Structure 1
Amino acid sequence: MANGTPPAPGLTFPPETFAKLTPRPFLQAHLQHKDSIRPNGRRPEEVRKPTVNTGSLSYSNGSAVVRVGDTAVVCGVRAEILLASDIPHPPNGDADAEHLLEDLGLLVPNVELSTGCSPTHLPGNPPGILAQALSYRILSLLHVSDLVNLQDLQIEYTVPQTDDDLPDAGPKTVVKAYWTLYIDILCIAMDGNPFDAAWTAVIAALRDTSLPRAWWDPDREIILCSPLEAEASRLRLRNLPMASTFAVYSTSSPLKQRAHAESWVLADPDGFEEDVCHESVTVVLSHHMDGKKSGILRVEKHGGGIVDNVALLRCVQATRNRAGEWCAVLGIT
């Protein structure tokens, strides 16, 4: 300059500031780059590596801690006895076993997010819509997936034969009680994709669940449980559904025709991507343990209209590829 004053330095901001000021252009600029690298450093199809630890809670029948990136979930399973005599309309012998779990309410999941797990979930707040939606989705998936064997939850009693019984009649077995499993899911840190982490924690905790040996005492007419850990039995899971969630980002707008818009399917979205994207897809694949053919169990889609059949097929294939990783961390062969 004429007076010798040096020019003012350029105004620059760190990437975190641009992400807060203009989140959509910030994400779009990363995706439109030739390498198409997301702000978190992952490619669109790349997922965060999960870790699973079981048996962390000493006073529960089963527990698991699952961490996916900066999302961490703790799940504890608590078993309580439901007497058949306390059921208003007990099922008869011809009842469909597949519907008894749902009709009797033997699986009770509950998701808690109001623990300061993120800036939007402060301690002391009542349960929000997200927590209730996650609880319902997990409950519905527990029922449709044929996950828990009803026989593992039944406490039976074989009635002794008497002189009045027919000689050819075999021993009669009646169900005196059921185990009810309360599945508490606590999100201690949330950075996107809570459903995949919560569902994996449920699967891991149920695989870790042991039920005490219980029997009916006809003299005192009560259920007794053995305190010996060696006599407890592991819960048998017949199906291990694997879930993968995808967020969809699109440049479409009311001023831009859909045919001219660009879109990206982002696997395992983090919290920033979930806030920016308005469409998501969750694919659940069954993984039967009894040799039955595995396949698509459920496809959930929320918001938007960008995902077509081609994109759904890519999501299904990506879920198949990730299923092997989930099986590895869960110790499933």
Structure 2
Amino acid sequence: MASQDLSSEVEVDAFRRIFPLRFFERHLSESLRPDARPLGKARDTTVNLGLVSSADGSALAKIGSTTMLAAIRMEVMTPSTESPDDGCLAVEFHMPPICSPIVRPGRPVEAAPVISKRLSDTILSSGMIDLKELCLVSGKAAWMAYLDIYCLDADGALFDAALLSAVAAFSNLEIPVVALNDNGRIVAITGEKEEQENNASITKKEAVNKEKRKLTLKNIPCSLTCILHKNYILADPTAEEESIMDTLVTVILDSSDQMVSFYKSGGNALAYSSSIKSCVELARKRVKELNQILGEMDID
């Protein structure tokens, strides 16, 4: 009996590898997926804060197996003449070979710069961060926030997990204490008494920000990626699902239910117009779930 069960499992696995689309469509016809999820349900999601001690803010986000580690490093820069009272944001998305068998050492991943650009556009266009909060001295000094996101496991819906990790990392961010020295330059204050005593040029001047502070986050963006296949809509796809069904839709909404942006790849836009409306409705439900997770971490 055990040998028959094993034989059956081998046959199913072989069928899945040889005819992946037919395998999935058999499940879809019963409104289920191979991982037993309903079509419109996202995977379990968790967020942990402050895992990178050397960063000014960090977070680990997991959606199913997809795992993202975000870290923020703050550096002082000279603001541009066009925006003398604004800081800046630089986003870099990394896909090391450890994240997926399809990522090869030494070869750039095409998806990485695309996701970097989308993350930057989303964070800035949503208004989540007021760049004026990053100003230190008008026209002379402001903060540059370097956001690096490392994909540790690429099992689908990469943008969704990356955006979630970025939002959580900014909620964890503590802007360092800095001061003006005698030469008019911005210098960091470490908080170590002995070190401050050895640097009189710092202690003579009052700190620009007297204590570490948090950013005020508004209109927090969250996203949901869906696959459109025939008459089916699959929310939060796995990497396997993405590899065999080529129409992807990503809906980005903010915490007040306003559309931030929308991305679609593959398929015919007109043919899927009604399905796209359904994706937006699924995204609204997903944003509520994510807001609840973020709310448990006291993210406004």
TM (norm. structure 2) is 0.85
Q: Bigger radius of gyration, 1 or 2?
A: 1
| Secondary structure of the structure 2 residue equivalent to 1:40 | coil
Q: Which amino acid aligns with 1:19?
A: R
Assess if the C-alpha contact under 8 Å between 1:77 and 1:205 holds in 2.
yes
Q: Which amino acid aligns with 1:298?
A: S
Which residue does the alignment assign to 1:107? 89
| Secondary structure of the structure 2 residue equivalent to 1:234 | coil
Within the alignment, does 1:82 sit opposite 2:46 as a pair?
A: no
Unmatched tracts of structure 1, length 5 or more: 1-8, 157-173, 251-262, 289-293
The 1:92/1:135 distance shift into structure 2, 3 A limit, reads closer
Match of 1:26 among 19, 23, 26: 23
Which residue does the alignment assign to 2:289? 325
Correspondence list, 1:42-121, <5 A:
42-84=37-79, 87=80, 90-91=81-82, 106-121=88-103
Inter-partner Cα distance in structure 2 for 1:16 and 1:267: 24
Inter-partner Cα distance in structure 2 for 1:315 and 1:181: 32
Match of 2:221 among 228, 237, 241: 241
Within the alignment, does 1:179 sit opposite 2:174 as a pair?
A: no
Correspondence list, 1:143-158, <5 A:
143-156=124-137
Superposed displacement of residue 91, structure 1: 2.7
Inter-partner Cα distance in structure 2 for 1:215 and 1:315: 49
When you count helix as a share of all residues, which structure comes out higher? 2
Inter-partner Cα distance in structure 2 for 1:92 and 1:121: 39
Assess if the C-alpha contact under 8 Å between 2:57 and 2:170 holds in 1.
yes
The 1:31/1:287 distance shift into structure 2, 3 A limit, reads same
Inter-partner Cα distance in structure 1 for 2:237 and 2:260: 21
Match of 1:223 among 183, 186, 207: 186
Identity of matched residues, %: 29
Superposed displacement of residue 179, structure 1: 0.6
Assess if the C-alpha contact under 8 Å between 1:51 and 1:68 holds in 2.
yes
Unmatched tracts of structure 2, length 5 or more: 193-209
Which residue does the alignment assign to 1:278? 246
Superposed displacement of residue 45, structure 1: 0.5
Inter-partner Cα distance in structure 1 for 2:66 and 2:78: 38
Correspondence list, 1:184-195, <5 A:
184-195=148-159
Correspondence list, 1:194-209, <5 A:
194-209=158-173
Superposed displacement of residue 92, structure 1: 6.3
Assess if the C-alpha contact under 8 Å between 1:283 and 1:299 holds in 2.
yes
Aligned length: 274
Assess if the C-alpha contact under 8 Å between 2:123 and 2:221 holds in 1.
no
1:20-77: CA deviations, max 9, x gaps?
A: 11111111111113xx211111111111010000000000000000011111110000
Assess if the C-alpha contact under 8 Å between 1:115 and 1:187 holds in 2.
no
TM (norm. structure 1) is 0.77
| Secondary structure of the structure 2 residue equivalent to 1:140 | helix
Superposed displacement of residue 126, structure 1: 2.9
